[in-house]
Amino acid sequence: MKKINLAWGKHNLILGEHTCIMGVLNVTPDSFSNGGKFFTFDDAVAQGRKLFEDGADILDIGGESTRPFSDAVSAEEEIERVVPVIEKLARHVSIPISIDTTKAGVARHAIKAGASMINDVSSLRLDPEMADVAAEYGVPVILMHMLGTPKTMQISPSYDDLIGEIKAFLENAIDHAENKGIPRSKIIIDPGIGFGKTVEHNLLLIKHLREYITLDVPILVGPSRKSFIRNILKDKTEKDISPDPAVLETGSQAAVAAAVLNGAHIVRVHNVANTRATVKIIDAVKNVRNSS
């Protein structure tokens, strides 16, 4: 895989030969993945430091749930949730901190507190000032495909050409970001596993991930603990399974392995320690040279 050097400020991520791990820290009371375990300041900071110590290359901190059918929260509430945590962690970890938000005001406060990336699930669409914030501070942005909004995205999602439509969306998102002053060298794309997709859509996206390599920007994939994994793993008699059991973590690691083999540069996960082991093996498989 072609190496990509993502460099800004004091950070430099070499993507391609070694998979980059983004550790998820949800400072929310209603996250689908951890049930609000890290909603308090002390718990959130402790989890952030653990993710760093387990080998995360990036921390992704969010203060608003984007689970299906979730309601939005105000910018003020998001800021109150994430800024103190970012301020504390920025003094103790050397890796980049990403702010997971769709609101320009939240992103601005987070960057001033020590964040150095923006992860916008709306691809700069929900707040017209978000692109200006990213350009002003010179930080990388993650542009994700989502069908609708978190409130509506899982209401009968359908596509005529799944891979082609998402690729066209991401091409347009990249063009828009560049036109707003964000250089292509600071753009990352995310096809949006679980954001307006059925189980089959998610599987096809992972299977055909290489279709997006021609966009010539790093690819991030976030399959960890998503509902498509639970739907595949649950027994026929079960309505759903909890996001916490070991079997779901095994399924998440299988999805991570498939994504990396098919071209993902960055994987966004909840369990960094397990993912570190997974990507070491998959990277070794990808990089091994045929002997003569």
Orientation of helix 246-261 relative to helix 272-287, angle to 10°:
30
Q: What is the mean pLDDT of the chain?
A: 92
Number of domains in the chain: 1
Using DSSP's 3-state secondary structure scheme, residue 276 falls into: helix
Q: For residue 30, is pLDDT > 70?
A: no
Structural domain contains residue 160? yes
Structural domain contains residue 152? yes
> Which band of pLDDT confidence, cut at 50, 70 and 90, is reported for residue 32?
very low
209 closest CA partner among 9, 19, 66: 19
Please tell me which residue in 108, 167, 186, 268 is annotated as part of the active site.
268
- Length of the chain in residues, anyone? 292
Least confident of 36-45, 54-63, 163-172: 36-45
Is-contact 235 267, C-beta < 8 A?
no
> Which band of pLDDT confidence, cut at 50, 70 and 90, is reported for residue 66?
confident
Amino acid occupying residue 249: E
Structural domain contains residue 65? yes
> Distance (Å, rounded) from C-alpha 263 to C-alpha 258?
9
> Which band of pLDDT confidence, cut at 50, 70 and 90, is reported for residue 29?
confident
User: Looking at per-residue confidence, does 67 or 186 come out higher?
Assistant: 186
121 closest CA partner among 195, 71, 202, 177: 195
- Whether 268 is catalytic: yes
Strands 187-190 and 141-144: parallel
Show the tokens assigned to 285: 């498989």
In tens, the pLDDT along 151-182 reads 665 777 889 999 999 999 999 999 999 999 99
Structural domain contains residue 137? yes
pLDDT at 149: 67
Q: For residue 77, is pLDDT > 90?
A: yes
Instruction: Give, as one character, the DSSP assignment of residue 156.
Output: S
Structural domain contains residue 282? yes
Q: In CATH, what number is assigned to the domain containing residue 121? A: 3.20.20.20
Structural domain contains residue 292? no
In tens, the pLDDT along 236-276 reads 777 777 666 889 999 999 999 999 999 999 999 999 999 99
Which range marks the domain in which residue 240 is found?
4-287
User: Looking at per-residue confidence, does 147 or 21 come out higher?
Assistant: 21
* Residue 289: count of CB within 10 angstroms of its CB: 5
Structural domain contains residue 263? yes
Average pLDDT over residues 195-206: 96
pLDDT at 69: 61
> Which band of pLDDT confidence, cut at 50, 70 and 90, is reported for residue 148?
confident
Using DSSP's 3-state secondary structure scheme, residue 29 falls into: coil
pLDDT at 271: 97
Q: What is the pTM of this model?
A: 0.92
Please tell me which residue in 50, 226, 236, 286 is annotated as part of the active site.
226
> Which band of pLDDT confidence, cut at 50, 70 and 90, is reported for residue 38?
low
Structural domain contains residue 252? yes
> Which band of pLDDT confidence, cut at 50, 70 and 90, is reported for residue 67?
low
